[in-house]
Amino acid sequence: MSNVNSAVIEQMMAHQSIRKFTDDDVPQAMIDTIVAAGQAASSSSFVQVSSVIQVTDKAKRETLQAASGGQVYVGSCPVFLVFCADLKRNQAICAAQGIDMPTGFAEQALIASIDTALFAQNSMLAAESLGLGGVYIGGIRNQPQVVTQCLNLPDQVVPLFGMCLGYPAQDPGLKPRLPLAMVLHQDSYQDLDEQQLTSYNQVLSDYYQQRTKGKLDTNFSEHIEKTLNKEARPHMLGYLQDQGWFTK
């Protein structure tokens, strides 16, 4: 990789998932700034189809912790945000003008999901630039209906993931990513390079052994086999359709 660099790139390359936080409070003004930075992300056709719910209520936090598979940091982190793909707001804007906005299209769902992910990544980068750390919580999709009821989400609004934020109380180390040559293709798609994969498997195995002091010995190929060789939240399609998505 070239030596082209900047403070922003250094911040991005230093990203770690943080699951342990100090007891220090995060000022609301900082949270507001983080979410505003998220809003600055690109928005397809400028439709702005994302909403963020900051959850401070203890009982709601406990519900979301249980719904996300018992991840304790969901309940204990200083800041917990739920990023929602929100088509309801624009539907209401159209209705106020006497227009019945068409819904249910797969493209709408893709736009809302992609834009919300861009929004969230901007927010995470902003938080890290202010000295915070965090982790995404896709586990809220384990029980999306529970999350929907907990947060009083209407139809056309889908909770995509949560985000824990706070001042880091751990330094887990950078997790090695795939070699750039396996990700950056030139002009056309390239088949899997087994030699590069073998090398990366060793790098990741060494990382896990060092991080866990020998308690975990696995590599990327084993991780993929374990993670993807099973059903992936099959309840999601029915839930999304109940919320008015993917009907067309």
Entry pTM:
0.95
Average pLDDT, the chain: 96
pLDDT reported for residue 4: 83
For the stretch 182-205, pLDDT in tens is 999 999 999 999 999 999 999 999
pLDDT reported for residue 158: 98
Is residue 233's pLDDT more than 90?
yes
Q: Dihedrals φ, ψ of 84, to 5°? A: -115, 135
Position 185: which residue type? H
pLDDT above 90 covers a percentage of the chain that reads: 93
Is residue 3's pLDDT more than 80?
no
Q: Does residue 120 contact residue 53 with C-beta atoms inside 8 Å?
A: no
For the stretch 84-126, pLDDT in tens is 999 999 999 999 999 999 999 999 999 999 999 999 999 999 9
Is residue 2's pLDDT more than 70?
no
pLDDT reported for residue 213: 86
For the stretch 36-58, pLDDT in tens is 999 999 999 999 999 999 999 99
For the stretch 135-182, pLDDT in tens is 999 999 999 999 999 999 999 999 999 999 999 999 998 999 999 999
Contacts of 66 (CB under 8 A, 6+ apart): 146
Under CATH, which architecture does the 7-173+233-242 domain have? 3-Layer(aba) Sandwich (3.40)
CA–CA gap between residue 49 and residue 40 (Å, rounded): 13
pLDDT reported for residue 17: 97
Between the CA atoms of 111, 38, 138 and 28, what dihedral angle is there, to the nearest 10 degrees? -150
* Closest residue by Cα to residue 219 from 228, 234, 236, 206: 206
Using alpha carbons only, what angle is made at residue 50 by residues 183 and 46, rounded to the nearest 5 degrees? 80
pLDDT reported for residue 214: 86
Is residue 1's pLDDT more than 70?
no
